Amino acid sequence: MAPGNAGSSTRPYLIRALHDWCTDNGFTPYLAVFVDRGVHVPAEYVKNNEIVLNVSFEATTALKLGNELIEFKARFGGIAREIAVPVDHVIAIYARENGQGMAFPMPSESASETAGASDDAAPADRPAGGGLRLATTEGTAEPAAAAPAGESEEDKPPEPPAGGGGPRPALKRIK
């Protein structure tokens, strides 16, 4: 790597590491994803331009956690679907059982535009400046849609534990 070169993004490496950590510890890894036209997921499960996906080996087939794209097959309502998520659209990865994980900045406006996002693809309540936030399943989908791929409604994930007294978990940005 040449001096002054920032190198590649750490996001795909961190996603793979946290996926491995969840798997090694018997936890279920979930991805929270910002959805625009560049993301290939079942639209009926998207709420407020976000979707939560169960990316455990039990819930997916042919999971590939690449540097640019996360690809796998999963069942939604009993129907097998092919999923493709650009790595820069992953806004969090966390363990269903305890909420531990990591949140990432939202995709930049330019990345969303180059992915072909329309004006209505960006949610009005999206934090400015790519702030960190962890998506939860509460209020993001109807009960059947809230259960990520490969899960029944009874297996619906609990909310990650809240910190700081608010409805969302407190997250610490590490530079």
The string of DSSP codes covering 44-112 is GG-BTTEEEEE--TTTEEEEEE-SSEEEEEEEETTEEEEEEEEGGGEEEEEETTT--EEE-PPPPHHHH
pTM above 0.85, yes or no: no
- pLDDT of 56 above 90: yes
> What's the rounded Cα separation, in Å, for the pair 32 and 171?
14
Distance of CA 6 to the CA centre of its chain: 25
Distance of CA 78 to the CA centre of its chain: 21
- pLDDT of 159 above 70: no
> What's the rounded Cα separation, in Å, for the pair 170 and 146?
22
Question: CATH classification of 11-112+129-151, choosing from 2.30.30.220, 3.20.20.70, 3.40.640.10, 3.10.20.30?
Answer: 2.30.30.220
The string of pLDDT tens digits covering residues 15-49 is: 999 999 999 999 999 999 999 999 999 999 999 99
How many residues would you count in the chain?
A: 175
